[in-house]
Amino acid sequence: MKYEVEQKFPVDDLSTLIDRLDMLGATIGKPQEEVDLYFAHPGRDFVKTDEALRIRRKGTSNLITYKGPKIDKTTKTRHEIELPLPSESGTAEAWIDLLEVLGFKQVGEVRKSRRKVGILWGGHWVEGSLDEVEGLGTFAELELIADENQLAQAKSCIVSLAKALQLSRSERRSYLELLLT
């Protein structure tokens, strides 16, 4: 089983963080708009079970993602299943219709401008993002995908990189949770 090991941090000074990433040899992509639509399950409370189901629209691409409960108290490590959907016009809307027919309800939308980041750190390729989230502000995310036997090493790598980038005040709540509180 694959896990997403992630930490997210609020960012007060994005240009300083970009300078630190550049000094460490990171690649930083161009901003891209993303819209995430989240759903409530018809038979269980995702808030109580700490799960999420979303459809992400990013340019012409669409993804459907399930995120399982977080498995520790310090990071956002969780089982994640992400599947690409066809990029044809109307695909996201058709999936939204399907989910609603099955009893899922829309619970929130997260809009952000995202710049993807990649950096080799501690022998691992760490992916991240610099997010400007509508209604919330600016955040940096760092993540690795790891098998169960690699979780401790992945967490250590993320913590070490965050320290090198002088990121603190890790935020475990999702953007949706932050918007709804």
Q: What is the set of active-site residues?
A: 38
Compute how many other C-beta atoms are within 10 angstroms of the C-beta atom of residue 22.
11
* Selection from 164, 178, 161 nearest residue 6 by Cα: 161
Non-local (6+) Cβ contacts of 83 within 8 A are 63, 64, 65
Measured between alpha carbons, how far is residue 163 from residues 4, 22, 28, 156, 159 in Å? 19, 15, 19, 11, 6
Q: In angstroms, rounded to a whole number, what is the distance separating the alpha carbons of residues 135 and 112?
A: 9
What three-state secondary structure class fits 4? Answer: strand
DSSP string over 8-39: EEE-S-HHHHHHHHHHTT-EE---EEEEEEEE
Question: In the chain, count of helices (H) and strands (E)?
Answer: 5, 9
